[in-house]
Amino acid sequence: MRGKTAIPIIVAGLLLMLLGIGQRTVWAPAETVTASVAQDAKAAPVTVIEPGARDGAGGSVEVTVEADGPFTLAVGRSSDVEAWVGDAAHLSVTGTSEDTLTSEYSEGEDSVPDPSGSDLWISEEPGDGTLTYRWSEPVEGDWSILLATDGEAPAPTQVSVTRPNDQSTPFALPLIIGGALVVVLGIALLFLTPRNRGGRNADAVEGTRAYARRQAEADRPGGAAYAAPGSVLVVAGLVGAGSLLGVAPGMATTSPSATPTATATASDTGAAGAPSAGSEASGPPVVLDSQLERILGAVAAVVADGDAASDPKRLAPRVDGGALDLRAGAYAVRAKDKKAALPPPVAADPVLLDMIPTDTEWPRTIVALTQGDDNPVPQALLLVQDTPRENYRLVSAVQMLPGSTFPSPPAPGATGPVPLDDSGTLATAPQDAVASIADFLTKPSGKNAKTFEQNSFAEAITEFQAGVVADPGNKAANITFSHAAQADRTQALLTGDGGAMVFGYLTHKYSSVPKSGGTIDLKGTVYKSLTGKESSKKGIDVNYGEAVMMYVPPAGSDDKIRVIGAAQQLLSAKLR
């Protein structure tokens, strides 16, 4: 009788297990799903694969591109890719519909620049024929892929995206486990000791007496009903199997009184890259660490090439503004005086500190503090990207002054443009701060004598000027010094305490004009090398360039403006 009960139970368990195994093997869905752009999609100079093509897939997806020749695959922030494409005609891969990638064609300009090498891309892959790229999101946000050839020929349109299949088999494991339990139950029934039909042995008698006692207790008020051991095992086994079949692993039922528990997120725990308390998140920084490393490396290489050849034309791709003026002037001086020193080299690493905004508008301004082996002190590099299709260029490179400290960068999401002509939340407008340092260097005892904290840059210049004027050898000449701020070279960035870091550029003119009947002796000076003359009866004008980096405190602060970095370079000397 027990065999007749146990064997069907074992068979049922085996069938449940086979059903679960079948869901994991024979009937298992494909692990990935592939969708492709229609063959008749219209080509354009650019193809953009938008975030919708991922179809909400987390992690990595596989993008396969087929083309007739070489092309570039670039990954960038979706807004950056859109800005780079601009008004150009392009094919947008927008999403998925079953096994098809949906696409839209936009009319526009029929050519674009070659996108390879753009600073906007977080990664870039060259392709020729067929390229398979594993596409993952570097940080939270919207990211797109741009495809293009040389900007003239049509971009590839044969694109497919392979992503993980979100169809799962939630009942496979419960069926296998439940079936195994049922099989164990059936086997247990086979090995239960059968009752002696011919007469009761001592154990059976004792078991019957115990049963009678428990049954009597159950009949009392408040007593619990008792079932025979065999029936208990069968019911318990079936209930256990049914529970496993009904609820998948990892799922849980919740009673109405259950209280949900809080889950910490990256922003709650202050994880790297998350907004700190009190700040509003506005997306990732416009330049990630990998981009900054690549940008600084490109700038350093161009500067090194220019320095080696003393050719300012070689600086054009990556250097502009005051940084270009100072280095071009240094090359011109060195061409006439081989002993003249060049400005310190630009180091790409190590990066001691950086200030990178999250504001996605252009122009974009970033700062990196580096100190290479050939730099005696840290060097602050100011780089500007004017438009989406232009790369960052170095516009200022200044050495940190002894004893100065770099201002703290703003909290994530708190960056933004700083008005140059309006003080706003600052103690002084950035343009006024640059004009003030120019006035102070020209007239040390003038109205700005107490505007700035004491610093070695201002001390060196004012002491030099005073010494030249007081030199007995210069009594026969009228000597003047003037410093003028160049307003179009001013840049300002917000600091963490509500102040601003201001970069300015000054032109410095030193004029020496002999008094009536006198001459100016140039022997033994660099000015002799630059002018080719040993003396002058009309006078000489010497021109310098000066780059400064200052900290301007927030409005209401009693602090003075601090000059924390500077660079000065002789540019030219001309006889009158």
Nearest CA among 74, 68, 77 for reference residue 47: 74
Cis status of the peptide bond prior to 363, with omega within 30 of 0: yes
Q: Which token pair is 370?
A: 């580096």
Residue 90 has pLDDT above 80, yes or no: yes
What is the fold of 32-164? Jelly Rolls (2.60.120)
Nearest CA among 422, 386, 365, 374 for reference residue 549: 365
Phi, psi of 521 (to 5 degrees): -85, 125
Please report the pLDDT score of residue 186 as a whole number: 73
- Strand 500-514 and strand 477-485: pairing? antiparallel
User: 315: which DSSP letter?
Assistant: G
Which pLDDT band, with edges at 50, 70 and 90, does 244 fall under? very low
What is the mean predicted confidence (pLDDT) over 163-170? 67
Contact 295, 342 (CB under 8 A): no
Percent of the chain with pLDDT over 70: 79
Residue 249: strand, helix, or coil: coil
Which pLDDT band, with edges at 50, 70 and 90, does 166 fall under? low
What is the mean predicted confidence (pLDDT) over 298-309? 98
Which pLDDT band, with edges at 50, 70 and 90, does 561 fall under? very high
- Strand 90-97 and strand 143-148: pairing? unpaired
Give residue 220's Cα distance to chain centre: 76
Q: Which token pair is 574?
A: 């001309």
Q: Which of 143-157, 209-223, 275-289 has the highest mean pLDDT?
A: 143-157
The residues with which 256 forms a beta bridge, in sequence order, are: none
Residue 268 has pLDDT above 70, yes or no: no
Which pLDDT band, with edges at 50, 70 and 90, does 247 fall under? very low
What is the mean predicted confidence (pLDDT) over 401-421? 78
Q: What is the pTM of this model?
A: 0.76
Residue 214 has pLDDT above 80, yes or no: no
What is the mean predicted confidence (pLDDT) over 102-126? 95
Please report the pLDDT score of residue 9 as a whole number: 78
By the 10 Å C-beta count (0-12 exposed, 13-18 middle, 19+ buried), 554 is classed as: middle
What is the mean predicted confidence (pLDDT) over 486-491? 96
Residue 148: strand, helix, or coil: strand
Angle at which helices 229-246 and 172-190 pack, to 10 degrees? 170
What is the mean predicted confidence (pLDDT) over 356-372? 92
**CA dihedral (466, 469, 472, 474) positive or negative:** positive
Residue 202 has pLDDT above 90, yes or no: no
By the 10 Å C-beta count (0-12 exposed, 13-18 middle, 19+ buried), 26 is classed as: exposed
Cis status of the peptide bond prior to 51, with omega within 30 of 0: no
Which pLDDT band, with edges at 50, 70 and 90, does 29 fall under? low
Contact 504, 485 (CB under 8 A): yes
Residue 451: strand, helix, or coil: coil
Which pLDDT band, with edges at 50, 70 and 90, does 569 fall under? very high
By the 10 Å C-beta count (0-12 exposed, 13-18 middle, 19+ buried), 483 is classed as: buried
d(CA 288, CA 276): 18
> Regarding predicted confidence, which is higher, 248 or 501?
501
> Regarding predicted confidence, which is higher, 21 or 120?
120
Cα angle vertex 370, ends 365, 375, to 5°?
130
Contact 170, 248 (CB under 8 A): yes
* CATH 2.60.120 residue ranges for the chain: 32-164
d(CA 356, CA 536): 50
SS percent in the chain: helix, strand, coil, step 5: 30, 30, 40
Residue 511 has pLDDT above 90, yes or no: yes
- Strand 562-575 and strand 540-552: pairing? antiparallel
